[in-house]
């Protein structure tokens, strides 16, 4: 426990000369009790398990200790998928795992992430979690770990891969970061930061409020309307913001000067933005927004072309992500929680390859989808 807290209190990441990200310490799995549907469990038919019933399984500590070395050198991939030398998913492989050791109750390892897009998602927090994929055997056993009862146990674990996920079953499997509180604080500040002028113009173009050939007067009027709306929202949220500001001050007075300087910078930026809204500035805003909208349209068109071999022409969707997810859903793949950057690779794999039969089911320790009946099952079980 002490080592885990220390890892979170200092940076465990570094970028090498080639731009690759190295994470010195990451929880890969843990000897804990987790919920699984019967249909997810290896040997379910032999054990007479109901596919739609929730079972609590213990990931055995001794089994994890013995399996630690099997994680070394395994690929880090964008989504859960069984891998082998004959069926290696190159399109979604973004790194590797090494130096795995069992430090009860957790399996700890080092990560090397090679792909630039995956590195960005780890750094911006959109994918900070990992989930182990492994083969195992299921044995019936009644027991209790940390107050959570279980009826099944995983033994003879053999690791196959590690996946980047948004929400893991093992809640401690989060890629180490130097300042969790600061990340939360920065995320909150970003959520309340007003849209930039370019973002406002881009949103107006996308919604149709502005035409591609809008005049300077049209753009200024649109921005004034958005500023009025931002002001109204700020008034509605002022009481909550004041309370949060006081709470933050009580928790961390050292940040006061920095926060004040940031607020002043925001005010200065807004004033400068207003002063600089001459014809040239408006022209640049429109040009940037139009370019962004054209890129979005091209991405959507590329997606339509990519999925045509699977589902034919897709009509009525203007988002590349929506198009890819629609096509994958039509062929029976649920990609609702897959990061958008991984969708083209999934479509490409669906078109070009057929997956071979697997002799054993691979466990995937990403969390159950939030709208699944299994979500919150732990809380119901303990109640």
List of residues 6+ apart from 138 with CB closer than 8 A = 41, 42, 43, 44, 47, 57, 152, 153, 154, 155
Residue where a domain stops, chosen among 277, 297, 313: 277
Contacts of 111 (CB under 8 A, 6+ apart): 21, 22, 23, 26, 76, 95, 96, 97, 130, 162, 175
Mean of the pLDDT values across residues 197-214? 59
pLDDT in tens, 303-326: 888 888 887 777 667 788 888 888
Q: What's the average model confidence in pLDDT over 144-153?
A: 93
Whether residue 259 is found in the same domain as residue 321: no
Q: Examine the domain organization and report whether 231 and 295 are in the same domain.
A: no
The residue out of 277, 311, 343 marking a domain boundary is 277
User: Comparing 19 with 215, which gets the higher pLDDT?
Assistant: 19
Predicted pLDDT of residue 317 = 74
- Same domain for 320 and 227: no
Residue 2 confidence (pLDDT):
26
The answer to whether position 21 is within a domain reads yes
Structure confidence at residue 182 (pLDDT): 34
Give 38-48 pLDDT, tens digit per residue.
998 999 999 99
Classify residue 357: in a domain, yes or no.
no
Quick one: pLDDT at residue 380?
47
> With a threshold of 0.75, does the pTM exceed it?
no
Q: Are residues 345 and 201 in the same domain?
A: no
Please tell me whether residues 161 and 45 are part of one structural domain. yes
Q: How would residue 371 be classed by pLDDT, with cut points 50, 70 and 90?
A: low
Residue 282 lies in a domain: no
Tell me the mean pLDDT in the region 110-132.
89
Tell whether 141 and 20 lie within a shared domain. yes
Mean pLDDT highest for which of 128-132, 213-217, 235-239, 256-260? Answer: 128-132
C-alpha to C-alpha distance for 367 and 182, rounded to whole angstroms: 25
The count of structural domains within the chain is: 3
Identify whether 360 is part of a domain: no
Domain extent for 309: 287-352
Rounded-to-integer distance, Cα 109 and Cα 93, Å: 18
Ramachandran quadrant class, 211 (left: phi over 0; alpha: psi -120 to 50; beta: rest): beta
- Both 149 and 236 in one domain: the answer is no
The reply to whether 358 falls in a domain is no
What's the whole-number average pLDDT of the chain?
Answer: 72
251 and 212 within one domain = yes
Q: Are residues 155 and 63 in the same domain?
A: yes
**Same domain membership, residue 54 and residue 36:** yes
């Amino acid at each position: 426990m002490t080592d885990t807290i220390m890892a979170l209190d200092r940076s465990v990441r570094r970028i090498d000369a080639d731009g690759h990200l190295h994470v010195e310490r990451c929880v890969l799995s843990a000897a804990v009790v987790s919920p699984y549907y019967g249909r997810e469990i290896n040997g379910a038919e032999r054990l007479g398990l109901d596919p739609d019933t929730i079972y609590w399984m213990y990931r055995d500590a001794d089994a994890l200790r013995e399996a630690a070395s099997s994680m070394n050198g395994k690929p880090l991939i964008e989504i859960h998928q069984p891998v082998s030398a004959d069926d290696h998913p190159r399109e979604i492989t973004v790194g590797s795992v090494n130096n795995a050791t069992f430090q009860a109750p957790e399996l700890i390892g080092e990560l090397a992430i090679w792909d630039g897009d995956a590195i960005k998602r780890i750094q911006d927090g959109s994918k900070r979690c990992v989930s182990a994929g492994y083969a195992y055997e299921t044995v019936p056993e009644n027991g209790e770990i940390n107050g959570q009862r279980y009826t099944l146990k995983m033994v003879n674990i053999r690791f196959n891969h590690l996946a980047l996920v948004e929400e893991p079953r093992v809640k401690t499997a989060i890629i180490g970061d130097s300042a969790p509180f600061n990340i939360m604080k920065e995320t909150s500040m970003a959520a309340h930061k007003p849209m930039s002028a370019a973002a406002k113009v881009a949103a107006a173009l996308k919604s149709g409020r502005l035409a591609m050939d809008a005049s300077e007067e049209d753009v200024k009027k649109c921005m004034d309307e958005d500023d009025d709306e931002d002001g109204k929202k700020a008034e509605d949220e002022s009481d909550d913001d004041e309370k949060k500001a006081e709470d933050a001050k009580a928790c961390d007075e050292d940040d006061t000067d920095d926060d004040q300087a940031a607020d002043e910078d925001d005010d200065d930026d807004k004033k400068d933005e207003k002063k600089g809204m001459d014809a040239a500035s408006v022209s640049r805003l429109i040009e940037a927004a139009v370019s962004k909208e054209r890129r979005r349209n091209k991405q959507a068109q590329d997606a339509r072309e990519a999925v045509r071999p699977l589902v034919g022409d897709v009509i009525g969707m203007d988002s590349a992500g929506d198009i890819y997810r629609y096509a994958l859903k039509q062929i029976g793949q649920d990609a609702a929680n897959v990061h958008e950057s991984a969708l083209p690779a999934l479509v490409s794999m669906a078109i070009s390859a057929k997956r071979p039969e697997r002799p054993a089911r691979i466990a995937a320790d990403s969390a159950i989808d939030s709208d699944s009946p299994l979500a919150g099952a732990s809380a119901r079980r303990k109640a």
